[in-house]
Structure 1
Amino acid sequence: MSINFKELANKYQTPYYVYDFDHITAQYNELKGAFKARKSLVAYAVKANSNLSVIKHLASLGAGADCVSIGEVKRALKVGIAPYKIIFSGVGKIDSEIKEALELGILMINVESDAELQRVEAIAKELDVVARISIRVNPNIDPKTHPYISTGLHENKFGVDIDTAKRMYIQCKNSENLDPQGIHCHIGSQLTELEPIKESVKIVADLVRNLKAIKIELSFMDIGGGLGIVYDDEKLIDTNEYAQSVLETMFGLDITIICEPGRFLVGNCGTFVTKVLYEKVNGNKRFVIVDGAMNDLIRPSLYNAYHKIEVLNDNKEFSDCNLVGPVCESGDFFAKNIDLPKTEHNDLIAIYSAGAYGFTMASNYNTRGKVAEIAVENGVDRLIRKRETFEDLIALEEEFLK
């Protein structure tokens, strides 16, 4: 679908995020269809884009939710995702979050350490309930991705090794307050090679068989997310090959597959649109200064991430420049040493593939209000989060002024 960015800028002002909901639908159906040969649940990784309307749209397609805070759990419940489709993951759950998750009756709490298991058991005992849990296994497989989004190596903070996982499952079996329902692994994000995924899933499937041999029968195998998208010229993993390689490891196991895509579903649905304020030259260096900033889209600054960038004008006079924002940091840039055409005041610039880890990682640094979010579905646009005002930003502080 082609989206008229200029029309949206006139209607909603800039900067803004716009999401193509038809693209989300197509991505969900592609992945769900790849696993049609077996019971499966696509649990959307809410952290990728936690706008309520985005989650609700995925819920309407049948998605569950993978959440990493009780706030994300509540977002999923708010828009109608059933508790039995919600998983609560994350390495640092506080006691009140564990308690609330147990009271809400979600599908599973995904446990990431032996110490966390002790807390879940103790809290379940206090509440006199049985906690359904899965354990995140760290298969020590190199995902071949950016080190900041790698999660499957022993040097990463996520999950436990195979031997520790076995001991934890045995503890669960012998506990009156723990019910081991699933197993989980996730080796990283923006994965573009299938082999590391195949290796990690095979390790986990073998553990499931070993557990079955000692009468610990699991119902769910969560293979994580991480399927990559195109930012530049990446060669992607074929979803059917992905599903087939996973299903091959499941031979002889009556188990439901859970996958938890985030970026795959929403990454390429989103565009961040910003407006040129002016240009300047320092020495021989050209800067294009826009009204969007690192507080709106931090991926380039945080990861040195690449996003395709397009200036929406007809100028053919290109030259090297840095595309930067108004925030008072040298790290406030969207691209460095990029060839862009000569720009004028109010020209629009589209930054593509911004639907995942864009708005959801935004901040109010420099007392900048978060931008508007817009959905486009079947050619019709609608506002799904209004632009923040100064009054919104000070609302939680103002009453304490002396």
Structure 2
Amino acid sequence: MNNEQLLQLTEKYGSPLYVYDTDKIISQYHRMANAFSSVNKLKINYAVKANSNINILKVLNQLKSGVDCVSIQEVKLAIEAGFNVKDIFFTPSGISFEEMEEATKLGVQITLDSLSVLEKFGDKYSNIPVCLRINPHVMAGGNHKISVGHIDSKFGISIHQIDGIKSIIEKSGLVINGIHMHTGSDIYNIEAFLTATEILLNTVKEFDTIEFVDFGSGFKVPYKDGDIETNIEEMGITLSNRFNEFCKEYGRELTMIFEPGKFLVSSAGSLLVKVNVVKPTPNIVFIGVDSGLNHLLRPMMYDSYHHITNISNANDVEKIYDVVGYICENDTFGSNRSISKIRENDILCIHNAGAYSFSMASNYNSRYRPAEVMIYNGEDYLIRKRENFEDLLRNQVIIDL
């Protein structure tokens, strides 16, 4: 979308405002499908945690995507969006067994990531095939907070516990129909990912009932001009060839699964914010906007870079600014940024805000969460109302003191 269109949306819906361009989601989905098109059985499961708005889910459902869910609530959202339960994969970590049972009764594909849960599940549901999440002990990903395949990660069953797995399934009769890994997010080192892949495929060989192999995702997208990203096309060629070769070794045509979140929706999203104040200090010119870490936490939590442009005054001389939020914390969206001259009431666009942005939003400082708009077939649709004061009080129980 161009700047004029984005400005019109803020005039229509106000700010701050999340805007999602579904054309970009669709093109990213097809890009991934094409990259692995030489695999006979390919399944792309969208990671719901990236952006769980039900309308985004409906778009993915139209594309014949499956979904990867990490909570029973995400499972129910996917069902509400129209997904068949057979296309819903449940891959939680550290949840209660009661939540696992609720998902099981809905008929979704279950993934287990601890020996204790595997044993409990086998005792009660030995007739239901399950997938195992394996920790390959490979460090891959960007920020350490989103690298989840290393030896000290809470996720997955260690590759050194295979004998324990076999002991449990021998006792219970449980069938293992899939092997899963997820090494982390923002992966750009293809070699590290391929190393983990070999560990995963070697794990598959330990079982003779495998139907699918889930490689997770975490592929890096660019956040600015010249930024590094996962070369999905190169990875597609290399990994597809290895997977097809492995299927012949294994003696069965397996399904290759990925569970992209950020890759599909990140670049489709923009957060539009209004400039409240231009505040020069001896060393820095601060730009205070009508948003903060309550709406976009990634820069503060992961040190993530989000490109920022002034769409109200795009062609003026560029100056150096720190763009900050209105929360009573150091909620900085960007430091030392070269941006076209900013004036009060200008609208800034924070790019690549489609993933892990609204889904991590909160009411911190008792601020309202913003509205969301989706562009679909050239038309704009309000897909989440802006919160108001009544929303802050909803579910609070006011007692008479």
| TM-score (norm: length of structure 2) | 0.93
Q: Percent identity?
A: 36
- Whether the 8 Å CA contact 1:173–1:179 is kept in 2: the answer is no
Evaluate the alpha carbon distance shift between residue 229 and residue 103 of structure 1 in structure 2; reply closer, same or farther with a 3 A threshold. same
Q: CA deviation at 1:326?
A: 1.1
Note the alpha carbon deviations across 1:76-96, whole angstroms, 9 max, x for none. Answer: 111111111111112211122
| Displacement over 6 Å in runs of 4+ | none
| Secondary structure, aligned partner of 1:80 | coil
Q: Aligned partners of 1:163, 1:173: CA distance in 2, in Å?
A: 18
Note the alpha carbon deviations across 1:94-136, whole angstroms, 9 max, x for none. Answer: 12211101110102x21111122133334x35xxx73331111
Which residue of structure 1 lines up, in the alignment, with residue 326 of structure 2? 326
Q: Which amino acid aligns with 1:241?
A: E
| Secondary structure, aligned partner of 2:122 | helix
Matched, 1:242 2:244: no
| TM-score (norm: length of structure 1) | 0.92
Which residue of structure 2 lines up, in the alignment, with residue 67 of structure 1? 69
Q: CA deviation at 1:173?
A: 4.4
Note the alpha carbon deviations across 1:298-349, whole angstroms, 9 max, x for none. Answer: 111111111110012146343332111111112x110122223432221000
- Whether the 8 Å CA contact 2:122–2:168 is kept in 1: the answer is no
Matched, 1:196 2:192: yes
Q: CA deviation at 1:400?
A: 4.6
Q: CA deviation at 1:142?
A: 2.1
Counting only pairs closer than 5 Å after superposition, residues 3-402 of structure 1 correspond to structure 2 as: 4-36=5-37, 37-107=39-109, 109-122=110-123, 124-125=124-125, 130-176=127-173, 178-212=174-208, 217-232=209-224, 233-250=226-243, 251=245, 252=248, 253=250, 254-312=253-311, 313-314=313-314, 316-330=316-330, 332-398=331-397, 400=399, 402=401
Q: CA deviation at 1:166?
A: 4.4
| Secondary structure, aligned partner of 1:268 | helix
- 144-153 or 277-286, which deviates more: 277-286
- Whether the 8 Å CA contact 2:309–2:340 is kept in 1: the answer is no
Q: Aligned partners of 1:218, 1:400: CA distance in 2, in Å?
A: 56
Q: Aligned partners of 2:163, 2:379: CA distance in 1, in Å?
A: 52
Note the alpha carbon deviations across 1:236-264, whole angstroms, 9 max, x for none. Answer: 33333222322333321321111100000
Q: Aligned partners of 1:369, 1:166: CA distance in 2, in Å?
A: 51
Q: CA deviation at 1:388?
A: 0.8
Q: Which amino acid aligns with 1:374?
A: V
| Secondary structure, aligned partner of 1:273 | strand
- Whether the 8 Å CA contact 1:151–1:187 is kept in 2: the answer is yes
Give 5+ residue unaligned stretches, structure 2.
none
Q: CA deviation at 1:174?
A: 3.7
| Secondary structure, aligned partner of 1:28 | helix
Q: Aligned partners of 2:20, 2:333: CA distance in 1, in Å?
A: 19
